[in-house]
Amino acid sequence: MILTVTPNPSLDRTYELPGLIRGAVLRAAADRVDPGGKGVNVSRAVAAAGHRTVAVVPLGGSEGASLARLLGEHGIEAAGVTIADSTRVNITLVEPDGTLTKINAAGPEIAPAEAERLLDAVRTRTAGTDWIACCGSLPRGLPPQWYADLVAESHRAGVRIALDTSGAALVAALREQPDVIKPNTQELAEAVGRPLATVGDALKAAQELCELGARSVLASLGAVGQLLVERSGAHFAAARVHTVRSDVGAGDASLAGFLSAGGAGRAALSAAVAHGAAAVQLPGSAMPAPADLDPASVVATEDIPVDLALTEQTT
């Protein structure tokens, strides 16, 4: 069972447009609304694979009620914590060539009492949990130390924890030794304070984060592939993708595949890459089901292509 914690969830509305023209009135060719937020996406991918998952989320206003309803429709148990402010709504505009324009709202402000209720919701559901996945940005009102405290509590309860965040929240949590962190290229570069031009640069950066406390690093390198750095060694994998439709949530699908496959080693990395590759070929922030996966498209190797240039894509 995988418990996800998403302090700043969203309703994700996606519009597919024939083209994006500033100042024009545009008609969408298609649109959809999905429950969103990085941890919510992880739960959606886990549920699609037939595994049990519980999503701890703050819920506010009519938007929060819609999010809870959509989670239920996806077979996800929502451990909702009522908050005074409204849950945010994010917008994604998709053009035919795969170009995405994303508008992410800041989200609600979480009061101290609401933050404590979020922690209580996690504590009461720890028993029987294989992994806790803490994902996404921290909303206003939660200090950078919030994730670090949650990592420490989870370890005291004997539960492994995966962390997908960035900036000060990531740096603070490294001291508590999360079992796996999942940065993309941009977040990895930000964490070490320098640009990354090649896979070799990303490898060195991931090794530095392990030295700072992370027990393993699953780094999404966009179209190039994914890198897994563990204390026992490093692995690399990539997949053949025919058409990129939307990369929204692809990194979250990767993390779900990785944790569902055990959260360590080459087999889990291959599962992560297969899930990410499947996700980018789906519309909006749709999460892949087992029928969408193509394990044969994944090439995993310990011969890491250190000179391979990184792209601008981040998932």
Give the alpha-carbon dihedral of 300, 301, 302, 308, to 10 degrees.
-110
User: Which of 85, 201, 247, 252 is labelled catalytic?
Assistant: 252
Q: Which is nearest to 274 in space by CA: 45, 35, 30, 1?
A: 45
Rounded Cα gap, residues 275 and 253, in angstroms: 6
307 is a catalytic site residue: no
Tell me how far apart the alpha carbons of residues 279 and 31 are, in angstroms, rounded to a whole number.
17
Q: Give strand pairing partners of 227.
A: 219, 236
The structure tokens listed for 16 are 């597919």
Active site residues: 252
